Amino acid sequence: MHPDTLHRVALSRVPGVGPILGRALYTHFGNAEAVFQASPKELKALEGVGDGLVRQIIGAQTLREAEGICRFAERHLIRIRHFSDVDYPGRFARRPGAPALFYSKGVADLNVPRSVAVIGTRKPSARGLQQTELLLSGLRDYGPTIFSGLAYGIDICAHREAMRVGLPTVGVLGSGLNQIYPSSHRNTAHQMLENGGLLTTYPHFTGPEREHFPARNRLVALLSDVVIVIESEEKGGSIITANMALELGKPVGAFPGRFDDPKSAGCNRLIRRVNGHLIEGASDVAAILGWQSSKVGNRQGSLFTQLSEPEQLIVSEIAEAEELALDELGRKLSWPSGQLASRLLSMECKGLIKVLPGHRYRLAY
């Protein structure tokens, strides 16, 4: 834990010190401990700091609370992250509403190259759940980290499906890490720690209050390259998150639904807007962001180690040239024509190569 962490936490807990003022105080004094050691005159030199706030800081009441927060964090492997840390998420940098300090747990890299928020109604239809599963299955080829809010419905389906297909997934909470909400998702939250994680701006003891969730939704939007709404009524948390993403200049996509289906009203409205993208599958998400599928490279790498040595030689030659005629391949390998033809037939049956007109071959993946 950083030597200044105790005072960083204490500063974040001072009533009236939000992310903007917290950053200003930290930057002005050089570290959080210096804020608590400053004189009233020095504190009031900053814009936005009045007598009431000075008394809060000088009284140092939050230092005692921060001691308990830090002890709990150490015992439970919770990371306390600050905007001055080198691994502070780049997607938070210089963004309005980004936290000066937050708590995380798990193994997730919050500076991954690709990230997608998958959100939606808490009461999805069977079609909405199926769309979530198909989207996540398709996104596996692009390797993003999946962000959502651990809520009922689409959120928890997205987290679980991401784990099933092997994608990292991060739950952004509107409560503390010792107050998982809803409690019925606690087991899933613990499983997510193994290849993803949990994130919150609230100390471990904080319960799920209604006013916490708009801020939680903003973090989901901030951490994602694109926000995808699977299914949503015309009003609700998913639409709030989508609008926040649009305000941040992030692309937003939505799955269309029947015009008379209330569960699709929010999605249809997003699509009708100029900057709402119609989504039917993972390839649409990739097209919005200009992503290339990692399927070829991943599959080729995993399959290559499973091939026999002769098959590896054939794959290497074809991959280098993209496609090869039978006689060209024979010259490169210096194999008897019968042996080569037999090996190629076997590989075609395994789905490793495809035969083109003119006895030419290319890889099937």
pLDDT, tens digit, for every residue of 11-64? 999 999 999 999 999 999 999 999 999 999 999 999 989 999 999 998 888 999
Is 318 within the bounds of a domain?
Answer: yes
Q: Which pLDDT does position 322 carry in this prediction? A: 78
What CATH number should be reported for the domain holding residue 130? 3.40.50.450
- Minimal CA–CA distance to 147: which of 118, 185, 108? 118
**What pLDDT shows up at residue 191?**
97
pLDDT reading at 303 higher than 60: no
Whole-number Å distance between alpha carbons of 142 and 285: 10
- For the chain, give the mean pLDDT: 91
**Domain assignment present for 110:** no
pLDDT of residue 296: 46
Tell me: the pLDDT tens digits for 130-155? 999 999 999 999 999 999 999 999 99
Please tell me the distance from the alpha carbon of residue 24 to that of residue 7, in angstroms, as a whole number: 15
Please check whether residue 91 lies inside any domain of the structure: no
Nearest 10 degrees: Cα torsion 151, 153, 158, 160: 80
Lowest mean pLDDT among 118-132, 158-172, 320-334: 320-334
Of 258, 289, 320, which residue sits at a domain end? 289
Is the pLDDT assigned to residue 304 strictly greater than 90? no
CATH classification of the domain holding 357: 1.10.10.10
pLDDT, average across residues 210-228:
96
- Most distant CA atoms of the chain, gap in Å: 91
* pLDDT of 72 over the 90 cut: yes
Residue where a domain stops, chosen among 257, 272, 289? 289
Same domain? For 278 and 301 the reply is no
φ/ψ of residue 118, rounded to 5: -120, 115
Residues 24 and 132 in one domain: no
Residues 227 and 242 in one domain: yes
| 120 and 206 assigned to the same domain | yes
Q: Are residues 119 and 262 in the same domain?
A: yes
Across the range 115-124, mean pLDDT stands at 97
Long-range contacts of 19-28 (CB under 8 A, 24+ apart): 19/97, 19/98, 19/99, 19/100, 21/46, 21/48, 21/49, 22/100, 22/101, 23/83, 23/100, 24/48, 25/49, 26/83, 26/84, 26/100
Domain of residue 346 covers 295-363
> What pLDDT score was predicted for residue 346?
82
Q: Are 337 and 303 in contact (CB under 8 A)?
A: no
Is 90 exceeded by the pLDDT of residue 82? yes
pLDDT at 316: 83
Q: What is the pLDDT of residue 274?
A: 59
Dist. CA 287–CA 310, nearest whole Å:
37
204 and 279 belong to one structural domain: yes
Structure token digits, residue 124: 């999805």
- Domain total of the chain: 3
- Does the residue 88 lie in any domain? no
Asked if 226 and 267 sit in the same domain, the reply is yes
Among 272, 289, 306, give the residue marking a domain's end.
289
282: pLDDT strictly greater than 60: yes
